[in-house]
Amino acid sequence: MERSIKFQEEHKIFRDVFRRYLIKEVEDNYTQWEKEGIIPREFWKKLGDNGYLIPWADEKYGGSGADFLYSVIICEEVARAGYGSIFIGLHNDIVSPYIDSYGTEEQKMRWLPPCIKGEKLLAVAMTEPEAGSDLASMKTRAVKEGDSWILNGQKTFISNGIISDIIVVAAKTGGSDVPAHRSMSLFVVERDTPGFTRGEPIKKIGLLAQDTAELFFDDCRIPGDNLLGEEGMGFIYLMQKLQQERLICALGSQAAAESCLEITKEYVKERKLFGKPLSKFQNTRFELAEMASELAVGRSFIDDLINNHIAGRSVVQETCMAKYWICEMSGRVADRCLQLFGGYGYCTEYPISRFYLDARIQTIYAGTSEVMKHIISKGMGL
């Protein structure tokens, strides 16, 4: 099926080069990274050296001024290769836009160049033990004290939690008399800030090479000029960036599911049962046909949203639909593909097992499927 996105020749060349780069730098190392529970800093530095980090940033910060399709390609190729733990999308397209959009020129000159070079890595800290998608229940608070802010609270399930150097942290700054949507602010907390500590890496069933951690702020003193944007505007800033965040999540799930189907299609052609290839059984063919149909629907939908997003249109409602439906679909595809591998699918030496485990989180982070359906229903006037 021809895609509705109009990739130019330079995009196609970039995709080919980046795909070969992943094979060279990741293929033989990824299993070891999963055992270590973290992507090494040296790999991030190489990404920066090759221009793969925040490529859309202005040239004055060290970026290439590239269009969003380069981010799309990076996201798709990482997901298709089964390297879901490499959170380039988080660094490139979820966290750095906060700095670029709401930071002062001084802040952007201070933080963006080292992030583009891969010298400093990014994370965003919103989720708390008792506040996930319900940001109004957030307890982390920042209080102004002279020229500083004193931050107290705890964050959990923070991706890049161990390796990150620059963390965008959401905290309450308004009193009880301030409306919820104006009582939150964003701050940048840098590595080794006094009062800032990290817990041990959180052990997970999937995304084994992704360092996820709890963050603790105990009388953490932040310079006054580390306030990102205006005080009290944090909730609004977060809402403004969720369209792209959920689009990136759905896109990764779509690409991963497409890869699942492709490797399964090749496997059933070779695997024999009762003297004939598994692909010759009606059940196998029908299963693959059903999955291919769902993937075609998802691809058409996500590409249309990408085109609208690039055009600057508001597709908040639709990206919530994509985040819900495509991520759920991706999980179904991974599960059904693993079933067709039989016992081998349950063995870690077969890539389908990694796709299966990594797919499970997609319906949870960046807004659970249930929260997405809640937002969609509100948009329907319900």
Going by C-alpha positions, the residue among 354, 367, 359, 351 that lies closest to residue 333 is: 359
Please say if 10 is a catalytic residue: no
> Which two tokens mark 211?
């360092």
Residues in the chain: 382
Residues with Cβ within 8 Å of residue 362, at least 6 apart in sequence = 249, 252, 253, 327, 330, 331
Q: Decide: residue 363, CB within 10 A, 0-12 exposed, 13-18 middle, 19+ buried.
A: buried
Q: Are 116 and 53 in contact (CB under 8 A)?
A: yes
Going by C-alpha positions, the residue among 138, 94, 99, 66 that lies closest to residue 246 is: 94
Q: Are 286 and 292 in contact (CB under 8 A)?
A: no
Going by C-alpha positions, the residue among 118, 114, 134 that lies closest to residue 126 is: 134
Going by C-alpha positions, the residue among 111, 128, 141, 94 that lies closest to residue 249 is: 94
Distance separating alpha carbons of residues 142 and 234, to the nearest angstrom:
12
Q: Are 231 and 170 in contact (CB under 8 A)?
A: no
Going by C-alpha positions, the residue among 120, 369, 370, 378 that lies closest to residue 249 is: 369
Residue entry with tokens 């999980």: 331
> Which two tokens mark 310?
């690039």
N-to-C CA span, the chain:
36
Catalytic residue among 214, 245, 258, 318: 245
Which DSSP state fits 200?
Answer: P
| Beta-sheet pairing, 148-159 with 212-223 | antiparallel
* Helix (H/G/I), strand (E/B), else coil: 184: strand
> Which two tokens mark 287?
């299963």
Distance separating alpha carbons of residues 305 and 192, to the nearest angstrom:
40
Residue entry with tokens 């994370």: 123
Catalytic site positions: 245
